[in-house]
């Protein structure tokens, strides 16, 4: 086996190779670090690489494996990438903002603690839109990340660096965060599988806050089984997060089996929101996702068209709520306690004004100002209160549909990956691209994004499975059956795979 082949394997496959002593954790870690050093110049997935610490960690984990420890941890010794909005002790955690360019937290995020306990090796931090505010990884103070499928295009955002790292073979899996689609949209653009889990299932402790009632940490990988293992690794109760509600981590043991029979999804009830396919979607994406729905029917699922009411109000409601929470969360960055402080300020007022004006980028300032406006006296009831009411209606619409159906199938994005610079100057167009994803954050429901085809230019297209709260097992089981029957998720940039059985007629 050539070492170069290792980077084509899934995280679980690499874990089995390490356990089987076909390759050691230090060898695998060195392979990925060297690849990042050699190849990430154009993609720019990473903003920092923990070379010495990663190698030391890999050596320590390998000693434990050699001693017979960590046998129950499938990802022990496997390298991973982490979005640079998640705190790693004593390592720069910048949220891709000048405001935090020198900040090194004195603690680990809960998910980092969980990864360490499972024997994971962190390669480094990945690029993102500043404070996770954006859908293209272009608002980063470090510059944009490029899509490995086409360097002229965005990998999506805000977790674009994490997606690009996995798609380019620069990490077997990655951890990201999702406030309005920031895991799912990059997965769709980069031909990956990703999970935005149920709100409260993964601790937000150590995640740089954008919109606290919407933020959720999740996983990005090659396939559903990798996502399931990483999600079970990082989920579970954390006393430090008041929204944490799961007593125990997810347990997906037993949900993955080899698909048997002609109809492995027999009995699965799937809803297709008809209004989703009439809301600014490109013709190619619509056809590809509907073809995938036909593929699920070929595998035994019962697909039925429905209409989801109030969905047309999801984007405005989301941006009112998200910006309001952002204006509150980011008020802590004032140039006094920590973070960027302007050298041009001569008094206390100047410190506040100039530090925030110089430290934040244009998109972050836009959202802070919008949030402050909708929370201001005279406008709170007209905007923020109404957005909260709409949020309740959207949640009710999903709950009603999911009483009858096991999952809802939708597109992830109305278009494939667009060109860098194409939408950054038009915030409204950028915001409207979130039309299929923000409703899950508003409702707190889980979503799984997975590959379902390619457009005429060879760009990946993704679909989304939406389920009841804490139904991640149902969604990941259906995703795994789909991936056993098709070959889309096995395709790599420059190497397109076949559709396989169940791809639709």
> Which active-site residues does the annotation give?
83, 158, 182
Q: How far apart are CA 128 and CA 140, in angstroms?
A: 6
Whether the CB-CB separation of 480 and 223 falls below 8 Å is answered with yes
Q: Which residue has the tokens 């795979």?
A: 497
Residue whose C-alpha is closest to residue 360's, from 18, 48, 131, 17? 131
What crossing angle do the helices spanning 472-485 and 224-234 adopt, rounded to 10°?
Answer: 160
Q: How far apart are CA 320 and CA 249, in angstroms?
A: 32
Residue whose C-alpha is closest to residue 78's, from 22, 125, 123? 123
Q: How far apart are CA 244 and CA 114, in angstroms?
A: 15
List, as one string, the DSSP characters of 2-52. Answer: -GGGGGGS-HHHHHHHHHTTSS-HHHHHHHHHHHHHHHHHHH--EEEE-HH
Calculate the CA 260 to chain-centre distance.
31
Q: How far apart are CA 174 and CA 63, in angstroms?
A: 24
HSE value, Cβ hemisphere, 13 Å, CA-based, for 61: 32
**Residue 280 vs residues 297, 377, 434, 447: alpha-carbon distances, Å:** 25, 35, 11, 21
Pull the structure tokens for residue 497: 């795979």
């Amino acid at each position: 086996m050539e070492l170069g082949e290792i980077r084509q394997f899934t995280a679980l496959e690499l874990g089995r190779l390490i356990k089987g002593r076909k390759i050691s954790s230090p060898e695998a870690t060195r392979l990925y670090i060297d690849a990042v050093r050699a190849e990430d110049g154009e993609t720019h997935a990473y903003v920092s690489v923990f070379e010495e610490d990663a190698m030391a960690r890999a050596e320590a984990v390998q000693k434990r494996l050699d001693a017979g420890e960590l046998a129950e941890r499938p990802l022990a010794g496997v390298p991973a990438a982490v979005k640079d909005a998640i705190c790693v002790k004593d390592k720069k955690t910048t949220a891709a903002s000048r405001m935090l360019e020198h900040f090194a937290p004195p603690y680990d995020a809960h998910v980092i603690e969980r990864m360490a306990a499972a024997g994971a090796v962190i390669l480094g931090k990945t690029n993102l839109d500043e404070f996770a505010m954006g859908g293209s990884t272009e608002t980063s103070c470090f510059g944009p990340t490029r899509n490995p499928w086409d360097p002229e295009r965005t990998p999506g955002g805000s977790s674009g660096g994490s997606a690009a790292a996995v798609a380019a073979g620069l990490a077997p899996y990655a951890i990201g965060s999702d406030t309005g689609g920031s895991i799912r949209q990059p997965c769709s653009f980069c031909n990956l599988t990703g999970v935005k889990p149920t709100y409260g299932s993964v601790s937000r402790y150590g995640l740089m806050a954008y919109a606290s009632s919407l933020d959720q940490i999740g996983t990005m990988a090659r396939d559903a089984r990798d996502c399931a293992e990483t999600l079970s690794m990082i989920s579970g109760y954390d006393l430090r997060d008041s929204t944490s509600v799961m007593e125990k981590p997810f347990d997906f043991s037993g949900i993955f089996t080899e698909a048997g029979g002609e109809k492995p999804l027999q009995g699965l009830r799937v809803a297709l929101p008809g209004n989703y396919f009439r809301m600014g979607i490109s013709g190619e994406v619509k056809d590809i996702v509907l073809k995938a729905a036909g593929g699920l029917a070929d595998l035994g699922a019962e697909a039925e068209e429905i209409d989801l009411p109030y969905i047309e109000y999801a984007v405005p409601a989301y941006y009112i709520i998200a910006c309001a929470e952002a204006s509150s969360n980011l008020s802590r960055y004032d140039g006094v306690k920590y973070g960027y402080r302007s050298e041009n300020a001569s008094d206390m007022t100047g410190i506040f004004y100039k530090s925030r004006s110089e430290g934040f980028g244009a998109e972050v300032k836009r959202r802070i100002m919008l949030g402050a406006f909708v929370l201001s006296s005279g406008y709170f009831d007209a905007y923020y209160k109404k957005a909260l009411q709409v949020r309740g209606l959207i949640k009710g619409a999903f709950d009603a549909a999911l009483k009858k159906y096991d999952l809802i199938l939708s597109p992830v994005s109305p278009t494939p990956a667009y060109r860098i610079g194409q939408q950054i100057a038009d915030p409204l167009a950028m915001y409207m691209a979130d039309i299929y994803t923000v409703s899950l954050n508003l409702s707190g429901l889980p979503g799984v994004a997975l590959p379902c085809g390619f457009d005429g230019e060879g760009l990946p297209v993704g679909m989304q499975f939406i389920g009841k709260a804490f139904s991640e097992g149902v969604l990941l089981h259906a995703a795994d059956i789909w991936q056993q029957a098709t070959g889309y998720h096995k395709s790599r940039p420059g190497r397109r795979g076949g559709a396989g059985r169940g791809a639709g007629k």
